[in-house]
Structure 1
Amino acid sequence: MKIVVIGGTGLIGTKLVNNLRQLGHEVVAASPRLGINTITGEGLAEALVGTQVVVDVANSPSFEDKAVLEFFETSGRNLLAAEAGAGVGHHVALSVVNADRLPDSGYMRAKVAQEKLIEDSKIPYSILRATQFFEFLSAIAQSSTDGQTVRLSPALIQPIASDDVAAALTKITVGEPLNSTIEVAGPEKFRLDELVQRFLSANNDTRKVVTDIHARYFGIELNDRSLTPGDNPRIGATNFAQWLGHQAKAA
């Protein structure tokens, strides 16, 4: 089966491309630097010739509200139109748990807009909403740092290893279209402030986390349902301690 992975050179895309190739599929890793651009349309029609499945794991280069919305809407429209022209039978997309419940976030509004384009198209689809990746913890800490202090909410979070997101996407990609949205999350829940402190300590980072119930998470105030999945999500296999161990070995 020929599969095109949009964003195929990124964190999730690279893992997904490798997984699918190991299963024997013909996989095209698509990205602007490889000559396939969903914003300009460059190389898109050519890449989709003979393609059965397209997986979109691309991310916006800017998280500014207007820019991120324009990215996901423009990319989504161009990609879905090209898929319709090529007769693609399954569109798979990666989104974020609770995107529709966090309207104060420009990024989440953009992901909801992307999801709506997919749902309104005539192409059979599957949308996987994932919780935050363990790999994102460094960026979370950095975004909340002032000097040697990291101010964070104690809201619950149920993060997941990127390997497990890629594994879930692999199963969906080679399966029949779901024509619905499903969730995937890690096996453990944590308090965000406590988890980031554990992450910093494990990396010998001397910054200290200060708990603040009103601390903003990329511009939004959190509660215990903001970063956790609904009922019966798919659950990744890797817990936080295992992920830390893998990171240490890789380093």
Structure 2
Amino acid sequence: MTDGQRLAVAGATGLVGSQVVELAQAAGHEVVPLSRATGVDLTVPGSVGGRLEGVDAVIDTTRSPAMDQAGAVDFFTRVAANLGAAAHAAGVRRTVVLSIVGVDRSQDYPWYVATLAHERATREHAPGPRVLRATQFHEFPGQVLDRGRHGDTAEVMQMPTQPVASREVARLLVELATDRTDGDVEVAGPRREDLVDLVRQLVELRGERVRIEPVPASPSMTAGSVLPGPNALVRGVDWETWARATAASGRL
């Protein structure tokens, strides 16, 4: 494959998808955004229409709006089937889907059951499927804090993590969609951390008064199932460097 390709980005307005769009355009690629904001509901057969005509690769960064296992599995499998059918019909050669490191080892956690279902459905339905598994993003501690917060306390899972900058993940998705290599890839940040410690640091950087209550994660995650393997790519800065820079910019 060569530069100046036509790329479709599913989930183009999300955390990673929006950065994929920006980075792909900056690299000289033409981007076809696929999201509800652009009139595409990927859970509905035929919603893509003719948007994939002339597209070289599809990058799937979709995220289920449902957090429960059944709802998320349903969302991901329908999206993969509909997107795959449209891609095959348009002659698309490659599909890169974003997943999570350790999903196959973490099937005692409902969200990871759904994420693995997304991988499998993409492999079944999409042309030229390729999976990028990433560790948790640097934004993850903030998401955990928001979801677990009840007044002045917040419950946070006690688990190891090796977080990576979401922008590096977006950059790698573009690389995998446009290069000449094949095969799945893992990516992680440079430093192993403890999630509870990261959330406590985040609260301090924000100047908030929140008491963090550690709670057990699933057995597999407690044992380190979401940590990267020895062959994972290491990209970007560590969490603290990212967090301090983000706080200085007023965006933390």
For 1:89, the aligned partner's letter is: R
2:134 corresponds to which of 130, 138, 144: 130
For 1:196, the aligned partner's letter is: V
Deviation (angstroms), 1:113:
1.3
Does structure 2 retain, via aligned residues, the 8 Å contact 1:17–1:29?
Answer: yes
**TM-score, with structure 1 as normaliser:** 0.90
Residues 121-174 of structure 1, C-alpha deviations (whole Å, 9 max, x = no match): 462121101111111212212333444333434421101111111111121121
Does structure 1 retain, via aligned residues, the 8 Å contact 2:16–2:166?
Answer: yes
SS in 1 for 2:222: coil
**TM-score, with structure 2 as normaliser:** 0.90
2:28 corresponds to which of 9, 17, 24: 24
Does structure 2 retain, via aligned residues, the 8 Å contact 1:69–1:106?
Answer: no
SS in 2 for 1:228: coil
Deviation (angstroms), 1:177:
5.2
- Match runs of 1:91-110 below 5 Å: 91-110=95-114
Does structure 1 retain, via aligned residues, the 8 Å contact 2:87–2:126?
Answer: no
Deviation (angstroms), 1:249:
3.5
The percentage of counterpart residues that share the same residue type is 29
Residues 34-58 of structure 1, C-alpha deviations (whole Å, 9 max, x = no match): 1122111354131101111000001
1:13 corresponds in structure 2 to: 17
1:182 corresponds in structure 2 to: 185
Deviation (angstroms), 1:227:
2.6
1:203 corresponds in structure 2 to: 206
**Aligned mates of 2:138, 2:26 — CA distance in 1:** 25
For 1:200, the aligned partner's letter is: V
Does structure 2 retain, via aligned residues, the 8 Å contact 1:35–1:42?
Answer: no
**Aligned mates of 1:23, 1:230 — CA distance in 2:** 30
For structure 2, the residue ranges without an aligned partner over 5 or more in a row are none
Residues 17-69 of structure 1, C-alpha deviations (whole Å, 9 max, x = no match): 11111111111111012112211135413110111100000111111221111
Does structure 2 retain, via aligned residues, the 8 Å contact 1:126–1:177?
Answer: no
Tell which deviates more after alignment, 96-105 or 67-76.
96-105
Matched residues, number: 245
Instruction: Give RMSD over aligned pairs.
Output: 1.8
Does structure 1 retain, via aligned residues, the 8 Å contact 2:81–2:125?
Answer: no
- Match runs of 1:1-251 below 5 Å: 1-121=5-125, 123-176=127-180, 178=182, 180-211=183-214, 215-217=215-217, 220-221=218-219, 222-251=221-250
For structure 1, the residue ranges without an aligned partner over 5 or more in a row are none
Tell which deviates more after alignment, 96-105 or 148-157.
148-157
Residues 171-225 of structure 1, C-alpha deviations (whole Å, 9 max, x = no match): 11211352x32211111111121111111111112112244xxx244xx343141
Does structure 2 retain, via aligned residues, the 8 Å contact 1:77–1:117?
Answer: yes
SS in 1 for 2:167: helix
SS in 2 for 1:134: coil
**Aligned mates of 2:206, 2:237 — CA distance in 1:** 19
